[in-house]
Structure 1
Amino acid sequence: MAAMVPDRPAAAEVLFERRGRLGVVTLNRPRAVNALTAGMASAMLEQLRLWADDDAVAAVLVRGAGDRGLCAGGDIVAIYRDMLDGGNATAAFWAEEYTLNLLISNYPKPYVALMDGLVLGGGVGISAHGSVRIVTERTRLGMPETTIGFVPDVGGTLLLSRAPGETGTHAALTGAHLSGADAVFLGFADFFIPSSKLASFAVALEHEAVEAAVARFAEAAPPSGLAGQDWIDACYTGNDAGEIVRRLRAFDGQGREEAAKAAEAIAAKSPTAVKVALESLRRVKGLTLEKALEQEYRVGLRFLAGSDFREGIRAQVVDKDYSPRWQPATLAEVSDEDVESYFAPLGNRELRLSKEHNNV
């Protein structure tokens, strides 16, 4: 058996074991829907590197403890507290987390992610970059960062930019929770397996090839509610978030009710986050994951230094008054120069990633 990660404060929060030729990672914070901490990301990074070089491990399985979901994202309460203290710990956490995301995308062995239940934010980062991504009828996937005054990260901007038509733009700006079928349609997942069969599927992976187990258990995914929605492509084109909202409100064809709901959802988000998220999706097209993560890190540090990210977490999670006071308060007040400032170089604080950096 491969050497295990030494004991550390986060050891109980993420568990590692080998079952047959399968390395199993279990995120173990079920009361927090397995929200990711810095210690968990560091432990996963170390163990995955060990298993990559271990001939006794043929594949890796990642799952969440409990029945609520794989991972509800990063621990935003911890991020909020750190922002009040300067944000340095969060910057270090993101550097480790993004390195983990890149390692997963380059992993030399099958990396199977069980995306059952909630899969949000950072949960997408540890699953959707894998090679075998499984969703169920219980999957609720999303990149809801604009709701808390932030933007999609963990490589999410790149994944969203590759979705059919403008469906990724719709998902990014509204922060909507998506079904397993939607995840497959958007390109965030590969296979649909009913949740009742996941335990048997995991056992099968212990003694048979991943391809064979998938072939036995996977079923056709239900139709996605995003497929064939012409109003999405009609309304979300271009680089002007204000114009997108105007189009959504004025849309009078089939899907007008959904378009109106999307407009109101976007209008409730941080105007700065909406505009920067849209610009991030446009700029990331054609980039590698390494460069996408580096761009997200640059943007993320700017949000750490601003007010909307902190205010969004306060309103949604800390005080739970659900009445954030965004600054600026409207899309019209966020200038092009404001948006551009989020992408300016960070100098010696830049994150530099490469395949070599991941030691795989």
Structure 2
Amino acid sequence: MNDTQEVLFEERSTASGQKLGLITLNVEKTLNALNLTMVEAILARLADWRERSDIACLFIAGAGEKAFCAGGDVQALYRSSVDNPGGPCEYAERFFEQEYRLDYALHQFGKPVVVWGHGIVMGGGLGIFAAGSYRVVTEKSRLAMPEITIGLYPDVGGSYFLNRMPGQCGRFLALTGAAFNGRDAVYLGMAEGFIEHARRDAVLAALSEELWSSSVADNHERLHNVMAGFAAASTTALPAANVEPAVEQINRLCSADSDVALINAIVALQSDSPWLQKAAATLAAGSMISARLILEQLRRSEGLSLKAVFQSELMLSTQVVRHREFAEGVRALLIDKDRKPQWQCASAEAVPQSLIDQHFQAPWAEHPLADLSA
């Protein structure tokens, strides 16, 4: 039975008598973008499936061929922001809180969670994807955290997983919103396996035929064994790498001695690599307030637990949506679509430190995510 047609839930029988829990994001027309109803429906189902001994493994995918999930429903967040200037922005803040609860619940689920990251995997979609215990990328996967373009920053746990990428890759990807492919995702530690999309039905059949155990640890091992064969058979479809060949240059760019110098170094980049050049252009056109917030948030999040990261992100996201930069970014990209945002600051050095500091002040007396638990 479905809680909502925007998310499909299925329990599929397996050879062991246990079941696979299938979740399909089912809003093809918006590239399976998440709204509050979808998030709350998935959260409720996860709470049920986590406690049930007959659910052995989860499999999460997106409907259609274009996207796993392109992110959150940013237009709804925009409306909440512009309707409540200065905040509180009830819908947007509720969405962020519940979205982070969902991502955290997936990270803490315990049982194996396969996420099939075919097509576009961006923003909030990458938050769900990153929480999987076996994350699949395909020949069409296109992953990114492009929040710099709308005056936001990479949230949904980005402050955690970006800090754990090789070298300075996380900082570079956060600042530039650069898209990366399936081969890149494996290199960056963002995926366990590359599997051709045409093999998905065969993967599901194999998971259904598996003799699952009553031991969660055994089931993780069984899952990896099943997936290893499909990954080995898919290696010829791997796309050319973008990130690894650029790592030395990325590390040099991000070794600047201040945040302003780092941002300016990327903006000024002249490269023979179309991928690097596009990344630099995206940062140059993006919000300089966001760029400064991104670096500050990554620095503050180093070494934090996942729980503490989500708590810090909710504080920052709440402040961002209450300031006008975010609404202006969404207006230019998605509402009026003129692609001419009137950013508050023309350069990284023009961003007042006092404005950055404001974003890192708790806007409530009691933290809404104080009750997150392992």
User: Aligned pair 1:240/2:258, yes or no?
Assistant: yes
Opposite residue 128 of structure 1, the aligned amino acid is A
Name the structure 2 match of 1:335: 352
Unaligned residue ranges in structure 1 (runs of 5+): none
Distance 2:146 2:255 in 1: 20
Q: Separation in 1 of the partners of 2:190 and 2:101?
A: 19
Residue equivalent to 1:325:
342
Residue 12 of structure 1: aligned partner = 5
The letter of the residue matching 2:55 is V
Residue 287 (str. 1) matches residue 300 (str. 2): no
Partner residue in 1 for 2:102: 100
Structure 1 residues 330 and 199: CA distance shift in structure 2, 3 A: same
Equivalent residue runs for 1:106-125 within 5 Å: 106-125=108-127
- Tell me the residue number matched to 2:129: 127
Distance 1:225 1:300, change over 3 A: same
Write the deviation string for residues 241-274 of structure 1: whole angstroms up to 9, x where unpaired. 431243336668x867765544332111001001
Q: Deviations over 1:20-60 (max 9, x none)?
A: 12100011101111000101111101101111111211000
| Separation in 2, partners of 1:217, 1:18 | 23
Aligned to 1:207: 209
Backbone CA RMSD of aligned residues: 2.0
Residues 98 and 239 from structure 1, CA distance in 2 versus in 1: closer, same or farther, beyond 3 angstroms?
farther
Q: Tell me the residue number matched to 1:71.
A: 69
2: CA distance between counterparts of 1:152 and 1:24? 27
State the SS of the aligned residue for 2:129: coil
The Cα of 1:202 is off from its aligned counterpart by 1.8
In 1, the alpha carbon distance for the partners of 2:277 and 2:258 equals: 17
The CA deviation at 1:203 is 2.1
1:36-47 pair list within 5 angstroms: 36-47=34-45
CA contact (8 A) 2:267 2:283 kept: no
**What is the CA–CA distance in structure 2 between the aligned matches of 1:250 and 1:32, rounded to whole Å?**
34
User: Structure 2 stretches of 5 or more lacking a match?
Assistant: 14-18, 211-221
Indicate the residue corresponding to 1:58 in structure 2.
56
Shift of 1:84: 2.2
C-alpha separation in 2, matches of 1:180 and 1:240 = 32
Residue identity matched to 1:204: A
Asked if 1:216 is matched to 2:234, the reply is no
- 1:150–1:132 distance in 2 versus 1, CA, 3 Å: same
Query: What is the 5 A alignment of 1:57-206?
Result: 57-86=55-84, 87-206=89-208
Q: 333-342 or 214-223: which moved more? A: 214-223
Native 8 Å contact 2:114 2:134 kept in 1:
yes
Distance 1:57 1:40, change over 3 A: same
d(CA) in 2 for partners of 1:286 and 1:187? 17
Structure 1 residue 345: Cα displacement: 2.4
Query: Partners in 1 of 2:257 and 2:44 — Cα distance?
Result: 40
> What TM-score, normalized to structure 1?
0.91
Partner-residue secondary structure (3-state), 1:138: coil
Query: Per-residue CA shift, 1:283-341, capped at 9, x if unaligned?
Result: 11101111111111111111111111101111111111111000123212102222122
- Which of 305, 315, 328 is residue 298 of structure 1 equivalent to? 315
Q: Which runs of at least 4 in structure 1 moved beyond 4 Å after TM superposition?
A: 220-223, 249-252, 254-261
Which structure is higher in RCO with an 8 Å CA cutoff and minimum separation 6?
2
Describe the SS at the equivalent of 2:136. Answer: strand
Q: Is the 8 A contact 2:32 2:68 kept in 1?
A: yes
1:126 shift after superposition: 1.1
| Cα offset, 1:226, TM superposition | 1.1
What is the letter of the counterpart of residue 210 of structure 1? L
Question: Cα distance 1:177–1:250, how it changes in 2: closer, same or farther (>3 A)?
Answer: closer
The total of aligned residue pairs comes to: 349
User: What one-letter code is carried by the residue in structure 1 that aligns with 2:262?
Assistant: I
Judging changes above 3 Å, is the alpha-carbon distance between structure 1 residues 325 and 126 closer, same or farther for their aligned structure 2 residues? same
**Cα distance between partner residues in 1 of 2:331 and 2:35:** 19
Q: Percent identity?
A: 36
State the alpha-carbon separation in 2 of the partners of residues 139 and 256 from structure 1.
20
CA contact under 8 A between 1:231 and 1:251: conserved in structure 2? no
Q: Displacement, 1:211?
A: 2.5
Q: Per the alignment, do residues 38 and 239 of structure 1 end up closer, same or farther by CA in structure 2, a change over 3 Å counting? A: farther
